Amino acid sequence: MKLFAAFTILLFALVGCATTGSQSPQQAAQSAANLFEQQKFNLVWVPAANNGISGAMASALIGSAGLESPIVSGIHQIIAPASKADVRVAISGTDSSFAANSAIAALSNTSSMLPKLQLAFIGSTSDAAAVRSAVEAKGGKFLHATPNGS
C-alpha cells in the first residue's frame, strides 16, 4: 500500500500543479471521489509525453512498451491485487488518449481476471469506450467522468 501511495505522490511530483490539459490532478481527484462515493481510492495522474514526440505517437507506442513503461508498470502494480482484494483506482492525465492507452496497456499485461477492480477513467468520452472494454474484459467495474465533470 505504501508503494502505491509513493507511486501516486511521485506522479504528482513529476507533474506538479502546472498542467496543460483542461483539468488539474486535484480536479480529477474530486471527480473520482464523487464517482467512488467518497470511498478510498488511488489516483494515477499520467503526465503527457514530453520527450519530443507527439501525443498521438506516444499514445500509439505506449501499448507496445508494455510493462517496460514505468507508467504502465505502475498502473499494473496498483490493479494486480484486484484478483483477490478490492481495488479502486482513478486514471487521468494531461492527455486523455495517452492516459487511456496507458490504462489499457496495464490491463492487457495482466494475465488474471480482476473481478474486484473498480476503475474510474477521468477523460474524454471518445477514449472512455476503449478503457471500458479493457476493464470489463477483466471482469472489473468501469466508471467514467469527463474533465469538466459530466
Question: Where are the domains positioned within the chain?
Answer: 2-145
> 2 pLDDT band (50/70/90 cuts)?
very low
- Give the tens place of pLDDT for each residue, 14-44: 333 333 345 899 999 999 999 999 999 999 9
> Which residues have CB under 8 Å from 148's CB, separation 6+?
22, 23
Q: Among residues of the chain, what percentage have pLDDT more than 70?
A: 71
Pick from 55-59, 95-99, 145-149 the range whose average pLDDT is largest: 95-99
User: Can you tell me the distance from the alpha carbon of 31 to that of 131, in angstroms, rounded to the nearest whole number?
Assistant: 17
Going by pLDDT thresholds of 50, 70 and 90, the confidence category of residue 149 is low
Query: Is the pLDDT confidence value at 70 over 70?
Result: yes
Edge-to-edge order in the sheet of strand 141-145: 42-46, 87-93, 117-122, 141-145
DSSP 42: E
High-pLDDT (> 90) share of the chain, % = 59
Q: Is the pLDDT of residue 54 over 90?
A: no
List Cα–Cα distances, 90 to 52, 53, 64, in angstroms. 27, 26, 22
pTM of the shown model: 0.78
Q: Is the model's pLDDT at 9 over the cut of 80?
A: no
